[in-house]
A and B are shown apart, each in its own frame.
Chain A
Amino acid sequence: MNGAVLGPSVEIPTGSVPRTTKDCVTDLELVERAQRGDSDAFGVLVERHHRAALRAAVAALGAVDEADDAVQEAWIAARDRLAGFRGDAAFRTWLLAIVWHKATDRRRGVGRWVRRLISMDAGDDTPGAVPSLAFTAAGPSPERAALAGEQQRTIARLVRALPAKLRDPLVLVGSGDYSYDDVAAMLATPVGTVKWRVSEARRQLRVKLTRLGF
């Protein structure tokens, strides 16, 4: 315990480790404090990067509930391995690689295949369904909005139908949260390979959409 409590709100610090605050502290500093046993510092890291981790897991799994479980496992694993973090890469990149590994482990699980089969029987209510972006379309007319909505649903279906090698980098890069370097570190693939896969995925989508009359 770092302080002796004298009253309801009076606390005299007695330790050398200052209390962690959210502001003006870099990730590396927080990691160093967490490595020295400051659990609050790790809590700040969780708060900073949880959303990015969750979106990466959603990109891999497509379902928020499953992604939540994968992210929890990833945070626990990250805390356990934090002593081995040397700062060669950014903490965020290191964390996202762990998240992606946990999420793809779940994606390969047998139970997930069973759930997908059941959901396919029940209908196409796959999580991550595209919300209508018709309000952002150029024209306000109902016809154009309906056309745009149909096109978006078709694009989402075609993206989900892509092979995982092309779909994963396309979704991660297209989410806008991750750079090519981040994606390359998450997928353990060279940056050039990631760029080629994204380009190839776009080309296949263009071809299929053109054939469908869009």
Chain B
Amino acid sequence: MTETDQPRPDLDAAVDAVLPSLTAVSDDHAAASLRRTRVALADAAPGREGAGAWRWGLAAVAAALIVLASSLAFWRGRAPEPGSTVERRPANPAVVATPPAPSAPPAAPGPVAPERVATASRAPRSPGRRRNVAVQATSALPTTPESSRPDPLIALVRAVQAIPEDAWARGVAGTDVTISPIAIAPLETPPIPDVAPEWPTAGEP
């Protein structure tokens, strides 16, 4: 036993006198704490806790339904009907509205233009691809207005279609082709004098 371990009843008594004060609570504090505890117990009543859980559950379900409905509406608003995307496209009305002439010869270059009409009746795309392709087809505006651009090929096709059927048949048969003879007068030139020509030398411009 060391010197500092000697019994010290006076120090023990001093410690015993101090220890209760370390946990002392005044009457005012205790009363106020009791009031607050009663209020807390009333606020956290078991019945209220259950109702609160129900309210939270209902709110969560309602929020999930709202999100689902809005996402569905957004998806349907963006997804086009099959074929409607090409109909809304501002295409050249002359090309789309004019059907190909039934009497046009198959070898003529005119049928090239009606090939663009075939895109309007394209088969509906698969659902997986529809979203990306549809947005590009409907929202992408042409850089220049197509109607203002002259198309010489279309003009040629219309001109060919304007030829009457009988005239076309005659032209193909070649029966009415008559070429009148062209009278050409003889060209008279003055006589050339007897002078030796001066040919340019090498290196001269």
Which A residues have a C-beta under 8 Å from some C-beta of B?
A: 42-43, 46-47, 50-51, 54-56, 58-59, 62, 64, 67-68, 71-72, 75-76, 79-80, 128, 130-131, 133, 136, 148, 151-152, 155-156, 159, 170-172, 174-177, 202-203, 205-207, 209-211, 214
Contacts and interface: CB of A to CB of B under 8 A. Distances in A.
A207 B4 CA distance: 5
7 tightest Cβ-Cβ pairs between the two chains A and B: A174-B19, A175-B23, A207-B4, A155-B18, A72-B40, A55-B23, A68-B33
Interface size class of B (residues with CB under 8 A): 20 to 34
Interface stretch (B24-32, B102-110, B130-138, B139-147): B24-32
B33 A50 contact: yes
A59 B23 contact: yes
B5 A205 contact: no
18 contacts: A42-B41, A50-B30, A54-B29, A58-B22, A59-B23, A64-B29, A72-B37, A72-B40, A80-B46, A148-B14, A152-B17, A155-B18, A156-B22, A159-B19, A170-B19, A171-B19, A174-B16, A209-B14
Contacts of A211: 4
Interface in B1-51: 3-6, 8, 11-12, 14-25, 29-30, 32-34, 36-38, 40-41, 44, 46
B41 A75 contact: yes
A64 B17 CA distance: 20
A64 B28 CA distance: 11
B18 A152 contact: yes
A154 to B, nearest CB: 9
Contact of B37 (A62, A75, A133, A174): A75
Contacts of B24: 55, 58, 128, 131
Given A51-B25, A59-B23, A206-B8, A79 B46 contact: yes
A170 B41 CA distance: 32
Given A133-B18, A175-B23, A205-B15, 7 more contacts: A50-B30, A58-B24, A62-B22, A131-B21, A152-B18, A156-B21, A214-B14
A133 B21 contact: yes
B89 to A, nearest CB: 63
A202 B12 CA distance: 7
A206 B12 contact: yes
A83 to B, nearest CB: 10
| Residue of A64, A80, A170 most packed against chain B (CB within 10 A) | A64
Contacts of A54: 25, 29-30, 33
Given A155-B15, A174-B16, A58 B23 contact: yes
B21 to A, nearest CB: 5
Contacts of B6: 210
Contacts of A47: 34
Given A79-B46, A206-B5, A207-B5, A50 B37 contact: yes
